[in-house]
Chain A
Amino acid sequence: MDDFLAARSQMALSLGFHIIFSCIGMVMPFFMSVSHFQWLRHGDESYKNLTKAWSKGVAIFFATGAVSGTVLSFELGLLWPRFMEHAGPIFGMPFSLEGTAFFIEAIALGFFLYGWDKFNPWFHWFTGVVVGVSGLASGILVVSANAWMNSPSGFDYVNGKYLNIDPIQAMFNDAWLSQALHMSLAAFAATGFAVAGVHAVMILKRKNVRFHLHAFQIAALFGTIAAVFQPLSGDFSAKDVARRQPAKLAAMEAHFHTEKSASLVLGGLPNEDQQRVDYAIKIPGMLSFLAHGNFEQEVTGLDRIPAENRPPVVVPHLAFQIMVGLGMFMMALSVLYFWALWRKRQWLRASWFLKLFVAAIPAGFIAVEAGWTVTEVGRQPWIMYGIMRTADAVTPMPGIAYSFYLFTAVYLSLSLIVIFLLYRQIKMVPELYDRPAQQLAAA
């Protein structure tokens, strides 16, 4: 494996790992707070137990996310020193603010985890909310830094020099709003569906049903609302990408030839040599409509992009199809859920209905990874769009392949251990969080 590919793979692996942990770490505190609110408001013991159980999950994900985030702050330099040397002062602002947000999150989590029965109950509840809000703020800030790589701004690039740096303008670059919105909704949808699905499994097994039913309802509410709004934010993002990064749009849509009234390519396998897409369904005029808002307008194809500036096509296109497909599935399931809440209450306990949610456990996170692949691979060959190439940013140190193998082994074993831990947490629910006696008392 050559060093450049190894560096990219290691970065992809580290981010791909971190993105899951940070999504869960920033969304689950909101579930926890809703459950905590229910307990404080209505005094239903099972909500208290649920809050405690979820807070353990939050702690595991927060700490693992904190560690993988620390690693990333070093990896940026270890793998891309030439990028960081120039980009650091420009796009560093969101990172410095994120430091604060994350610190507040850690402090609030300290209060929350160890503050049971020690503080005013509403202060204790409030610290849980702070965990969620500051986590979400961290996420948005980091995405804003990534958005800057897609849409560099806040400086003048003159003869290879970065002049007139304005870190605030860099933070509010053209891409930050659409990306931050899409990522935040994605985090809520993915975590909501995953958590709801896990509790659906337990309901299907008829274990601690009341406990898991409460959990399911809270997680599903967040997940489904986010999933319904996500396509709207996706549309906003697509129009934004069409305007800013026509090459990325062309790659994700496998749109090789510039044309008016361009058709939308669904599925299919792009053939980059022959510049065509095999086995695809084409909807005439639809791409023009989705990208620019009317069925006639010309959509820039890859043929207008100089060969050395073209991103790969197969990976972004397939990843994009996966993301959209799963997004549609989750939206459909959400609509079904709302229908059930409104008209068909009996579905909520029906096993076919719960099984649909079980099937959706990984959907959101696969979509998150796929969407992230689209935005990162679609930006290639640039690390800083239009300014610096990824290949020029990589560390001069040889032998990165070995560090990639090492990280693969570490992250793989960490993932396995986390899954193992969660499995044990869930398995122990009857003993730790919801004893049969309590259940009887509650019933």
Chain B
Amino acid sequence: MSYVVITYLCLAIWLYLLLGGADFGAGIMELFTSGKNRRTARQTMSHAIGPIWEANHMWLIIAVVILFVGFPRIYSVMSVSLHIPLLIMLLGIIARGTAFVFRHYDAVKDDMQMVYNRIFVLSSAITPFFLGIIAASVLAGYVDPAAPDFMSAYVFSWLHWFAVGVGVFTVALCGYLASVYSIGEAETEADKRYFIRKTQLMTVIAFAAGGLVFLAAVIEKIPLWQWVFGNIVGTAAVVLASISLGIMAYAVRKEKTVLPRILAGFQVTMILLAIGYRHFPDFIVMKDAPNLSLLHDQAPEATMNALGWALLLGSIFILPALYYLYYSFQHEAKEHSEAASA
């Protein structure tokens, strides 16, 4: 049963990055868009993420609950050593979530909209940046709860070049996901061409940011190269992701809508796999202490069984309903755009 729980944990993190990432990206795109185009981008994205954004947020909560119920030691070490970035990420989540709701539901559309927008855009970038920092810190090997002084226990555990690099990369990935996603949501030809250009730009930025991560790893003496290319799975993941980039260029030129989305999701999955595979089952790489592992630092068996069943039962209710929600609104959006083009 513990493998069921681990699968759900990975699934929740993966879906949060894919779906939540596209949400964050919507705000990030606004950051990179100017003038009259910003309005187009905003309207398209607001229309696209409106119905389901509440649901996307849930993946993060599920991951957190799985951690504190099933892997309490991992949760508590993260909470202590990465207190500060977690706190900033939370503030980002608060600001972003409320600003989005407020701008959506404010009955009067006036100057307050500008305030909501600014908060929304800014927090859309800050939150994934710190998510990236947290993800990097977990693997970087600087987590040291036994450190004697404040700085090494609570600050240098996450403040290093590698984490900053991954933070920037995460932001770029979110922007990339959102721009790919937005192509299919465009209502006019001009918008579509605009979003395609945006996607090309975001691809370049994400690529450059990925390079930065490797550079930062070299500076911090983190064997990232070894992690990714030291085993067949990591290498294969990178190769497949590169091939899919080629297909992507073709699909975008052919103005396909669904295929680029699948490919973008695939690429992000491969990136997670390339970095995560080498470490499994370790979840936190510690400094001067045994790593915390998903297999060894579990809750007692009775808890893992109960948690596993709760997740399985929950899925029976959630997945069909969620699928029907996506299906209904995709279907509707399609009819909407067909009506618009006719």
Contacts and interface: CB of A to CB of B under 8 A. Distances in A.
Given A56-B105, A66-B97, A118 B332 contact: yes
B289 to A, nearest CB: 15
B339 interface: no
B150 to A, nearest CB: 7
A89 B69 contact: yes
B144 to A, nearest CB: 13
B50 to A, nearest CB: 7
A15 interface: no
B329 A114 contact: yes
A302 interface: no
A260 interface: no
Nearest to B307: A96
Contact of B87 (A67, A99, A403): A403
Q: Considering residues B52, B83, B104, which has the most beta carbons from chain A within 10 angstroms of its beta carbon?
A: B83
B214 to A, nearest CB: 30
A92 B322 contact: no
B68 A77 contact: yes
B320 to A, nearest CB: 10
B211 to A, nearest CB: 32
Given A67-B93, A78-B87, A106-B55, A396 B105 contact: no
Interface string B312-327: 0110011001100100
Interface in A85-105: 85-86, 88-90, 92-93, 95-97, 99-100, 102-104
Interface residues of A, number: 66
A431 B209 CA distance: 49
Nearest to A162: B300
B51 interface: yes
Interface stretch (A174-182, A372-380, A422-430): A422-430
Contact of A395 (B70, B80, B100, B101): B80
A96 B105 contact: no
A113 interface: yes
Contacts of A417: 98, 102
A118 to B, nearest CB: 7
B83 A69 contact: no
B325 A166 contact: no
Interface string A406-443: 10001000100100010011011000100000000000
Contact of B57 (A66, A92, A100, A425): A66
Given A106-B54, A110-B325, A424-B108, A77 B79 contact: yes
A67 B60 CA distance: 11
Contacts of A305: none
Contacts of A88: 68-69, 72, 75, 299
Given A92-B68, A110-B55, A165 B302 contact: yes
A99 B62 contact: yes
Contacts of A81: 75-77, 79-80
Contact of A421 (B105, B150, B321): B105
Interface string B29-55: 000000000000000000000111011
Contacts of B310: 93, 96-97, 100
A397 B61 contact: no
Given A88-B299, A89-B300, A96-B310, A395 B79 contact: yes
Given A100-B318, A103-B55, A103-B314, A64 B98 contact: yes
Contact of B91 (A90, A396, A406): A406
Nearest to B58: A103
Contacts of B66: 96
A60 B91 CA distance: 18
Nearest to B150: A398
B55 A107 contact: yes
Contacts of A76: 68
B340 interface: no
B75 A410 contact: no
A59 B97 CA distance: 12
B154 interface: yes
Contacts of A67: 57, 93-94, 97-98
Nearest to B302: A165
Interface residues of B, number: 62
Contacts of B105: 56, 59-60, 421, 425
Given A88-B69, A88-B72, A107-B55, A432 B107 contact: yes
Given A99-B62, A103-B318, A104-B317, A60 B101 contact: yes
Interface in A61-88: 62-64, 66-71, 73-78, 81-82, 84-86, 88
B43 to A, nearest CB: 16
A95 B64 CA distance: 10
Nearest to A428: B107
A73 B70 contact: no
Interface string A106-123: 111111011100110000
Interface of A: 56, 59-60, 62-64, 66-71, 73-78, 81-82, 84-86, 88-90, 92-93, 95-97, 99-100, 102-104, 106-111, 113-115, 118-119, 165-168, 395-398, 403, 406, 410, 414, 417, 421, 424-425, 427-428, 432
22 contacts: A63-B97, A64-B97, A67-B57, A77-B68, A85-B73, A88-B69, A88-B75, A89-B303, A92-B65, A92-B69, A93-B306, A96-B306, A96-B310, A104-B318, A107-B322, A111-B328, A115-B328, A414-B98, A417-B98, A421-B106, A427-B108, A428-B108
Given A85-B76, A395-B80, 13 more contacts: A56-B105, A59-B105, A63-B54, A67-B98, A76-B68, A92-B70, A96-B69, A96-B314, A100-B317, A104-B317, A104-B321, A165-B302, A424-B106
